[in-house]
């Protein structure tokens, strides 16, 4: 279907910037009923109010690729204030570029006004810091990042509108920047991360001209707010292709700006296997539509550096738990210089790490208490990850696998009994100076 479509489209326009091409239903095959009701309600109500409204960007791209989009964004010629008036349950957000979030129960549709082609406010590096100039649909298409993201779908007419050969690039499995790549990266350095993430996630190659400036301009990421970097990092890690994304990120030299520990971790013994196992496990859970934990993923990404620091401190004579806490603080300080992990994720990450020594304790009441810990499951999964690369004995992970599934009687039988004389509690009574007190103490013994 797509191949036939491309052949016809290429006859109608030149590649990139060849003008507006309308692609009818019979040639692209995307019916209105493939969209969820909340997306349709958004475009329908805007059109009923007299505005233009289209499904735009990644949702159209994914539908053409035969995938099921999770997010549906809408582009319109209505201003944010006008959109807000149409939808009672909506809110205007953003400063750099104002958007409207339209709420349908738990679902959120992001509605953007067509961006204009006029001058945007930029800083000294060329990065756009304010972009609230409105324009036409064609202006908006020109301002989007990649050709595959500059596609508009009208659910009522069931038509796709393509200005820059995005459908052709989808067919050729290619990511191409609209405009001059170096200029577009300077406008928003996060586009470099997005190019890598989307290419790895969708199985696309990055066009040579689009790829060429990336390594040279990678340092621009140092000026991007840490919150934006973290959001992009989360998208990468939860893309379903996180290992491929991370490796392509490293190949392009983009990780130095916000993940400086990656190279060291990859060179550590079993480092590559550890990270790959962690990320591929996450990818599998996402494909199976199972919940994933950002705290767990970041715990895996930084663990080998924590472990190395912890071992050095213990060898220097520090007590084990104090050494672990100190190692965690030091690694966090290094990472936070580039990418500050929000507290809710950082807390989970540290709890997973500090649970690891407790899995070594398999006697008395301690194993039962560990089972009751709210982070037990995440900590246990992390223990199994460590065992998968030989960092801890597989027997330890197997013991906990059996212990948590056993009944109370079986758990009691599994407890490791201390050997004779081991762990004996030798209570020493404090002697008091002076006659009767000292004699009483002697008699008590």
- DSSP-derived 3-state class of residue 27: helix
Is residue 80 within 8 Å of residue 97, measured between CB atoms?
no
Q: Based on the residue annotation, tell me whether 131 is a catalytic residue of this protein.
A: no
Are 32 and 40 in contact, with CB atoms under 8 Å apart? yes
Rounded distance between C-alpha atoms, residue 243 and residue 208, angstroms: 23
Burial class of 96 by CB neighbour count within 10 A (0 to 12, 13 to 18, 19+)? middle
226 by Cβ neighbours in 10 Å (0-12 / 13-18 / 19+) ranks as middle
444, 429 contact by CB (below 8 A): yes
Collect all residues with Cβ–Cβ distance below 8 Å to 411 and sequence separation of at least 6: 367, 368, 403
Between CA 286 and CA 399 the distance in angstroms is: 28
d(CA 279, CA 236): 11
Q: Report whether 394 contacts 387 (CB < 8 A).
A: yes
Catalytic-residue membership of 71 = yes
**Active-site pick, 62, 73, 131, 188:** 73
- Per-residue DSSP letter, 137: H
Helix pair angle (320-336, 294-315), 10° resolution: 120
Of 237, 277, 241, the residue nearest 382 (C-alpha): 277
Q: Kindly give, in sequence order, each residue whose CB lies less than 8 Å from that of residue 82, ignoring residues fewer than 6 positions away.
A: 49, 51
* Residue in 62, 145, 162, 188 annotated catalytic: 145
C-alpha–C-alpha distance, residues 382 and 278, integer Å: 9
User: Which pairs from 281-288 meet CB under 8 Å and 24+ separation?
Assistant: 281/385, 282/237, 282/238, 282/242, 283/240, 283/241, 283/242, 283/243, 286/238, 286/239, 286/240, 287/240
Active-site option among 71, 231, 263, 311? 71
Beta-carbon neighbour count of residue 224 at 10 Å? Answer: 18
Answer yes or no: 73 catalytic.
yes
Q: How far is CA 37 from CA 104, 201, 250, 344, in A?
A: 10, 26, 40, 33
How distant is the alpha carbon of residue 284 from its chain centre? 14
Return the active site residues.
71, 73, 145
């Amino acid at each position: 279907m797509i191949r036939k479509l491309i052949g016809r489209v290429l006859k109608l326009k030149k590649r990139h910037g060849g003008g507006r091409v309308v692609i009818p239903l019979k040639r692209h095959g995307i019916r209105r009923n493939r969209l969820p009701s909340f997306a349709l309600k958004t475009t329908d109500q805007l059109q009923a109010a007299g505005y233009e409204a289209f499904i735009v960007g990644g949702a159209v791209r994914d539908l053409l690729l035969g995938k099921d989009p999770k997010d549906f964004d809408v582009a319109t010629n209505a201003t944010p204030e006008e959109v807000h008036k149409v939808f009672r349950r909506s809110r205007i957000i953003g400063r750099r570029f104002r958007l409207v979030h339209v709420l349908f129960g738990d679902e959120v549709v992001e509605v953007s006004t067509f961006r204009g082609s006029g001058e945007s406010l930029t800083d000294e590096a060329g990065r756009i810091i304010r972009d609230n100039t409105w324009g036409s649909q064609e202006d908006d298409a020109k301002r989007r990042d990649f050709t595959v993201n500059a596609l508009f779908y009208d659910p009522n007419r069931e038509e796709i509108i393509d200005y820059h050969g995005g459908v052709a690039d989808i067919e050729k499995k290619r990511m191409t920047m609209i405009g001059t790549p170096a200029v577009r990266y300077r406008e928003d350095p996060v586009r470099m991360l997005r190019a890598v993430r989307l290419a790895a996630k969708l199985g696309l190659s990055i066009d040579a001209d689009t790829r060429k400036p990336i390594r040279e301009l990678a340092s621009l990421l140092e000026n991007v707010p840490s919150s934006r970097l973290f959001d992009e990092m989360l998208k990468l890690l939860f893309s379903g292709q996180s290992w491929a994304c991370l490796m392509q990120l490293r190949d392009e030299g983009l990780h130095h700006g916000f993940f400086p520990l990656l190279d060291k971790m990859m060179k550590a013994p079993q480092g590559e296997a550890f990270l790959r196992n962690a990320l591929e496990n996450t990818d599998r859970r996402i494909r199976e539509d199972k919940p994933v934990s950002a705290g767990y993923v970041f715990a895996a990404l930084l663990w080998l550096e924590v472990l190395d620091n912890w071992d050095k401190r213990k060898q220097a004579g520090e007590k084990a738990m104090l050494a672990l806490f100190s190692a965690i603080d030091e690694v966090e300080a290094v990472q936070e210089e580039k990418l500050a992990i929000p507290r809710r994720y950082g807390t989970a990450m540290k709890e997973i790490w500090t649970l690891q020594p407790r899995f070594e304790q398999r006697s008395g009441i301690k194993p039962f208490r560990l089972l009751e810990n709210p982070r037990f499951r995440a900590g246990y999964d992390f223990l199994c990850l460590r065992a998968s690369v030989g960092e801890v004995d597989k027997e330890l992970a197997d013991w906990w696998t059996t212990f948590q599934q056993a009944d109370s009687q079986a758990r009691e039988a599994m407890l490791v009994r201390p050997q004779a004389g081991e762990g004996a509690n030798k209570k020493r009574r404090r002697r008091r100076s002076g006659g009767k007190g000292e004699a009483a103490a002697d008699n008590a013994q």
